[in-house]
């Protein structure tokens, strides 16, 4: 069958049956079209192990606009998309290359960056003033550290929340609902910010014009959040460039350091698999720290 029809059927399957987000379907479309165009593939029979191998060599040798090689993790996205496409075709009784014959590239362990606690405190205290912009930015920083929200989840929040209860229900990846909780500092910052608002905009956090007396121009977008975090990171004197996900990492690390169990942190972060949450444990393993303190360098004392 025409490979374009099969690809469309697969993307429809992702959206309807698997309930993937439009962004996920868009990414899969890009990855798969890159492979199909590279191999000049017209039907499902054209997907051969030789063409897959040639495409992987192409990815490995391909350069970014900055002249760097594509990261192994980036290369793996293309391979994962192709394997899943082949699984879909196999499930629908098409005779195609077995997805098991395509091995995933070995990728390095994921490295995360967190903000040192002293830097984090300076970052959270960086927004000063009683104007709407400063109060908004203060509330954004406090809610990010209080909840560990992803940037897209933060942007989608609406203003009508029960501050007394201090609990929010957010819709995360895979359209899954989870509860997150507001600290006292976050509740106070949101309350002060909302009292400054005199508009009917539904969004909790809004974009503002750059004028001296800013006007609200709709719901805030991820790029604006990124700029806000970067600005206050520099203002607070944080050495590394700060991005929103670093605050999420700091939230998770803070919970684990203070004794929270891994499964609870998994639920609070909205991770589908606990293996994703385990990336934080090497930063927070108290037993290893105590072992080092008890047994390392004893002859030097």
Which residues face 180 on adjacent strands? 168
289 among known catalytic residues: no
Evaluate whether 173 touches 269 at the Cβ level (below 8 Å). no
271 among known catalytic residues: yes
Tokens standing for 167? 């609990």
Q: Among residues 56, 83, 248, 249, which one is catalytic?
A: 248
Q: Among residues 150, 232, 249, 251, which one is catalytic?
A: 150
DSSP classification of residue 247:
H
Q: Among residues 178, 188, 197, 245, which one is catalytic?
A: 245
296 among known catalytic residues: no
Strands 206-208 and 216-219, sheet pairing: antiparallel
Which residues face 158 on adjacent strands? 203
**Centroid of chain to Cα 275:** 15
Q: Among residues 51, 87, 159, 173, which one is catalytic?
A: 173
197 among known catalytic residues: no
8: left (phi > 0), else alpha (psi -120 to 50), else beta?
Answer: alpha
292 among known catalytic residues: no
Instruction: Using CB atoms within 10 Å of the CB of residue 130, give its burial: 0 to 12 exposed, 13 to 18 middle, 19+ buried.
Output: exposed
String of DSSP letters for 14-54:
HHHTS---HHHHHHHHHHHHHHHHHHT--BGGG--HHHHHH
Tokens standing for 233? 């990171």
61 among known catalytic residues: no
Catalytic residues: 150, 173, 245, 248, 271, 280
């Amino acid at each position: 069958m025409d490979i374009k029809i099969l690809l469309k059927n697969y993307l429809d399957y992702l959206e309807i049956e698997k309930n993937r987000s439009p962004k996920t379907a868009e990414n899969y479309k890009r990855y798969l079209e890159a492979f199909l165009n590279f191999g000049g593939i017209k039907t499902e029979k054209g997907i051969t192990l030789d063409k897959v191998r040639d495409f992987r060599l192409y990815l490995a040798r391909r350069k970014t606009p900055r002249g760097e090689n594509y990261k192994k993790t980036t290369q793996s996205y293309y391979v994962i998309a192709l394997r899943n496409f082949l699984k879909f075709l196999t499930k629908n009784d098409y005779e195609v290359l077995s997805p098991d014959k395509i091995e995933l590239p070995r990728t390095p362990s994921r490295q995360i960056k967190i903000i040192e606690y002293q830097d984090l405190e300076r970052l959270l205290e960086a927004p000063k003033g009683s104007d709407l912009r400063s109060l908004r930015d203060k509330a954004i920083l406090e809610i990010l550290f209080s909840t560990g929200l992803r940037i897209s989840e933060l942007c989608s929040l609406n203003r009508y929340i029960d501050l007394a209860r201090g609990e929010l229900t957010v819709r995360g990846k895979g359209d899954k609902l989870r509860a997150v909780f507001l600290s006292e500092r976050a509740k106070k910052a949101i309350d002060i910010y909302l009292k400054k608002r005199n508009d009917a905009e539904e969004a909790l956090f809004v974009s503002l014009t750059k004028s001296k007396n800013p006007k609200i121009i709709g719901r805030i977008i991820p790029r604006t959040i990124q700029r806000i975090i970067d600005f206050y990171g520099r203002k607070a004197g944080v050495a590394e460039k700060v991005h929103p996900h670093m605050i999420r990492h700091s939230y998770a690390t803070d919970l684990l350091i203070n004794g929270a169990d891994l499964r609870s942190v998994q639920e609070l972060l909205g991770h589908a698999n606990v293996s994703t949450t385990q990336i934080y444990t090497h930063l927070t393993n108290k037993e290893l720290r105590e072992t080092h303190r008890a047994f390392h360098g004893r002859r030097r004392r």
